[in-house]
Chains A and B, each alone.
Chain A
Amino acid sequence: MLRPYVPLLVLLALSVVNAIFMVVLSTVLSPGGATKVKSAPYESGMTPLGNPRERFSVKFYVVAILFIVFDVETIFLLPWAVSARRLGWAGFAAAGIFIFILTVGLIYEWKKGALEWD
């Protein structure tokens, strides 16, 4: 009865092994242990100033949103690309409309200055 779960079990085991492998590998290969000076945040060789947990600029957030738009775009374009020949011109038109709408969003972001980093 548990047979269908065997692939899941294999996946689970593989991920655990992989995680352990990477941690062990980095400890084995890394040269020497951490000292207080080494673990201090790097600030051009000077003594660190201020709280390291400084608040992020909202610009990072804007970039993350931009990323979401184009990240999610792929989950619709990939299945279309796989079966593009079978879907024919109707599918091409649908994908074109989809990309057109995304492009309008991109133009908006561009004009709004979300792509500038000053």
Chain B
Amino acid sequence: MQQIPLEQALGLSALLFAIGAFGVVIRRNAIILFMCIELMLNAVNLAFVAFSPRSGVQGQVFVFFVIAVAAAEAAVGLAIIISVFRHKESVDIKNFSLLRW
């Protein structure tokens, strides 16, 4: 069966990663920032799968690890966002004195 060319899959992955990275830079809502970071991780997953036919089945195994790590990060990250929300009643990083970058 014919396969989707590597270049196209990689291009999609790079595009998704760029959208995620760009979102982190321009958005101001902590939850959306976090979603953008998750998008970046999933773009990487796509790249791993795309490389898999050529570089070996390892690529697909890595995706499992990335999913598990992303889940752990999500659990901790959302807990941190809740604890900040309790102080500030907001998740907009404009309202945080420390979070100017």
Contact = CB atoms under 8 A, between A and B. Distances in A.
Asked if A and B form a direct contact in the complex, defined as CB atoms under 8 angstroms apart, the reply is yes
B84 interface: no
Interface in B46-69: 64, 67-68
Interface in A42-79: 58, 61, 65, 68-69, 71-72, 75-76, 79
Contacts of B78: 61
Nearest to B76: A65
Q: Main secondary structure on chain B at its contact with chain A?
A: helix
- Residues of A contacting B: mostly: helix
B11 to A, nearest CB: 13
Interface residues of A, number: 13
B64 A79 contact: yes
A3 B5 CA distance: 11
B97 interface: no
B25 interface: no
Interface of A: 3-5, 58, 61, 65, 68-69, 71-72, 75-76, 79
Contacts of B15: none
A72 B2 contact: no
11 contacts: A4-B5, A5-B4, A58-B82, A68-B72, A68-B74, A71-B71, A72-B67, A72-B68, A72-B72, A75-B68, A76-B68
Given A3-B2, A4-B4, A75 B67 contact: yes
Q: Which 3 A-B pairs have the closest CB atoms?
A: A4-B4, A72-B71, A4-B2
